[in-house]
Structure 1
């Protein structure tokens, strides 16, 4: 019996977006079909193509459509190549701010078949996504970065108790969900309170206080520089890491490389009601159009988006489809089928086709 289709927005993006996003959609369609439902993909103007057609990288028509959607997928954007008048805010920042996507979840796990610097890494970095030292998301008016003179540049760092508590709860719940009989619930709070005493000290203290609500979660703390070293030295000691925006951005890129490549690193940005699936990698314009882009991160991001929104909307079909997608990607990589960046010979579409075969096969 086929159930009603799920509506999902699609923002293709720039560079390799027109290659990796359709590849992920193909795998998602196959997984959904096995679970007995379809997907109504609603493609919306976005990025350089939207500038050409609407004179805006994120047009009002796109935002109006997203207002009514709980889940959408986003390809990479190459905002550095946009005309100067369109560079004031990145498309991602526009979406994160408008929809309050305060949590950025970035797992890093090594796959069998993919050479990894640290094959035992399996961490989830929970990154506060709405404030910190990011100029595009910490001011109501104007920029958080400014220059009082041509030779002096300043940046405002924003940390609030409410946002810190909010992301801490997401992280503690994730630690509890990831625990199993063989692995206790563990969470590391990462800060730099020995130097940034007021800002990251507030973040640390808010996380500590939320932790009192989760007595079953084992809590440790690390300064961000020590955390970077420990991820390189012994990543298996860590499970969930919660940290502020800039630290989370840096640590998640490091963890992704330790797991094998940013090309396999999925990611979602979410609130309590909406989810945006977007891979951590960039638009890679140097390889765009050649059919060699690695779609794993985009497929993994869509699977994460299905799972996260499935939990929000109490939709077990989406969660089951996500599991099928993850299993298919892992099986494809384990069979030594990979794109050139991982040492393989498969094209973008060939990898997606093999993942589809594994989704639909026995």
Structure 2
């Protein structure tokens, strides 16, 4: 007798701009994938967030939303347009940052894989809780201050526990892929901070003798990515360097519109496309949902590994395969040279799964 399939409760946070268009496309595809994989249907839990939540709840991230997220297995987060929020909401930590910080989602995993013959297929593993970004490195406040009107100071924080856990995340991923890990740093100048990052990654490498390890300075790494992105497999680095490199890698793969990501801890994961809310095309059925669909597939993969659930892992592979099959068959949105609308593309991917 086959065991009862594991069921999951996943949150839906539509966000702003194109979020209400691309998130439902991801939901449609994920639903098709779990059915095809023989998994239990997903229980979706819609939750308010963003500009709409400001109007209905007086907060871009209502307390009830944050509380409910803690009860779920994971969630899909659409892009937000916090720069357009009215004050005081605009000056507060944006919704995705607040969620990431609240749940200590320390690993930002950002693949960059081309759908054509560019040859790019790598993953940037970005430490997500400290480093040089001000909102990530203090318990309270932003980590930036001005002692006088003419002096601005920003602190960067690097700690052994945070470096060790992101290094292990990256090595585990490299072991599942092509067994090649690249550490990116600036230890020739930032000798104490990124020097410690490099040194600890090298220490952790002793536990993964099957993984080839090299390292590059951040400035050199940008050149290497442009010249020979196909030579890289998994890249691990601190948060600001990771943000820059993953955007660059996404463009080298074809577009940020195809760049998925998850923000994860050992207990929870948040699927979130790497791109923004694109308010200029919102509501026009023009947005490319590829990145959001791919992020949903990554969430299924994370659930499959965390819960030792082959059905979820199979569903994740079905999402990945169907995305590639659909685009290679000539069905794509306008940014990739096609004619499909957002909803049409999502439905085409779901149909590709059903007919696989």
- What TM-score, normalized to structure 1? 0.95
Name 2:128's counterpart in structure 1.
129
C-alpha distance in 2, partners of 1:171/1:243?
9
C-alpha distance in 2, partners of 1:350/1:70?
28
Aligned residue for 1:286, secondary structure, equals helix
5+ unaligned residues in a row in structure 2: which ranges?
Answer: none
In 2, are the aligned partners of 1:124 and 1:240 still within 8 Å (CA)?
yes
Aligned length: 352
Name 2:104's counterpart in structure 1.
100
Aligned residue for 2:189, secondary structure, equals coil
Name 1:33's counterpart in structure 2.
35
- Shift of the alpha carbon at 1:337? 0.8
1:190 maps to 2:184: yes
C-alpha distance in 1, partners of 2:281/2:147?
40
1:276 maps to 2:270: yes
- Shift of the alpha carbon at 1:4? 5.5
Name 1:226's counterpart in structure 2.
220
1:138 maps to 2:137: yes
In 2, are the aligned partners of 1:132 and 1:245 still within 8 Å (CA)?
yes
Deviation digits for residues 192-221 of structure 1 (CA, Å, limit 9, x no counterpart)? 011111111111111111111111111101
Name 2:115's counterpart in structure 1.
111
Name 1:182's counterpart in structure 2.
none
Structure 2 residue corresponding to 1:343, chosen from 337, 341, 348 = 337
Name 1:217's counterpart in structure 2.
211
1:20 maps to 2:48: no
- Shift of the alpha carbon at 1:93? 1.0
C-alpha distance in 2, partners of 1:72/1:360?
23
In 2, are the aligned partners of 1:4 and 1:38 still within 8 Å (CA)?
no
- Shift of the alpha carbon at 1:326? 0.8
1:255 maps to 2:249: yes
Name 1:78's counterpart in structure 2.
81
5+ unaligned residues in a row in structure 1: which ranges?
Answer: 180-184
C-alpha distance in 1, partners of 2:332/2:71?
37
* Structure 1 stretches of at least 4 aligned residues deviating more than 6 Å after TM superposition: none
In 1, are the aligned partners of 2:8 and 2:73 still within 8 Å (CA)?
no
Alignment of 1:42-57 (within 5 A): 42-57=45-60
- Shift of the alpha carbon at 1:234? 0.9
Name 2:177's counterpart in structure 1.
178
Query: RMSD of aligned C-alpha atoms?
Result: 1.2
C-alpha distance in 1, partners of 2:270/2:213?
29
Task: Assess, with a 3 A threshold, how the Cα gap between structure 1 residues 218 and 285 changes in structure 2: closer, same or farther.
Answer: same
